[in-house]
Amino acid sequence: MKKSIYVLILLVFSLIVFSACNENPDDEVDIMYKSVDKQHVFIMDTLDLALDDSPESLHIDSIISGLIDAELVSTGYLRYDLDKNTNPDIAFEIIDLKPYNDDFPESFYSLAIRAHSYTVEFLDNSTYQYADALDANEQIGSDGNWTTQTIVLGTFQNAGNFNGQGDKFLAFRIVDGSIYKYGWIKVNCSEHNDTLKVIDYAFNKIHASSILAGQMN
């Protein structure tokens, strides 16, 4: 009798261990969440721009005044360290796509918002560098086309998926060797691409495990 009980206990324990080892990694969740609530603005009127002392405006003014040599006028890279290891993972940029030829413009109307990668890949199922604009609760995982290329959120030709669409989620995955940590950034791009709001972001710290857009825990 005791032997039978021992065998039964051993069998149950083995089943528990087997189930744990074969658990779907997509079901594992350890979310790192961060509220950002930061707004970046490319002031379109150059008279107003000259009076503004934000980092974005100072960078633009430095290009216009010749202190920074650049063919295109932009805010410069707006960097974010997502995993808090002191190194940037992603950078946003608001840029005027009309070449600047030392002519002081009255205003900027050819704006675009882009995202650049340091350590991440972006979800781009268009395959033309127009990142997917996800809604809340859409799953972010290995499926889809992932790229390290610079991607467009919005352009003055309305070719992007984010501008004028309200709060949307940009899917990313942090590359850690041969494995990935999947996450999202909630952003809001204005209709004319002069304003980018970075609202918050999160990623699943469990390697190769998915996350839902907007998931915080």
pLDDT, one tens digit per residue, over 119-140 is: 999 999 999 999 999 999 999 9
Question: What is the pLDDT, as a whole number, of residue 103?
Answer: 58
Range of the domain at 193: 28-212
Does residue 203 belong to any structural domain of this protein? yes
Look at residue 22 and tell me if it is in a domain: no
**Is position 43 within any domain?**
yes
In a domain, 5, yes or no: no
Handedness of CA 41, 43, 48, 49 (dihedral sign): positive
Task: State how far Cα 79 lies from the chain centre.
Answer: 11
Do the domain assignments include residue 37? yes
Handedness of CA 53, 59, 63, 68 (dihedral sign): positive
Q: Among 90-104, 139-153, 157-171, 192-206, name the one with the lowest average pLDDT.
A: 90-104
Alpha helices, DSSP H, located in the chain: 2-21, 46-51, 55-64
Interval 31-42 mean pLDDT: 97
Instruction: Please answer whether residues 127 and 87 qualify as being in contact, where contact means their C-beta atoms are separated by less than 8 angstroms.
Output: no
Total domains, the chain: 1
Please tell me what DSSP assigns to residue 130.
B
Does the residue 132 lie in any domain? yes
In a domain, 146, yes or no: yes
Domain-located, residue 64: yes
Query: What mean pLDDT is predicted for residues 80-93?
Result: 96
Predicted pLDDT at 7:
44
- Residue 150 CA, chain-centre distance (Å), reads 11
- pLDDT beyond 70 at 215: yes
Largest CA distance in the chain: 95
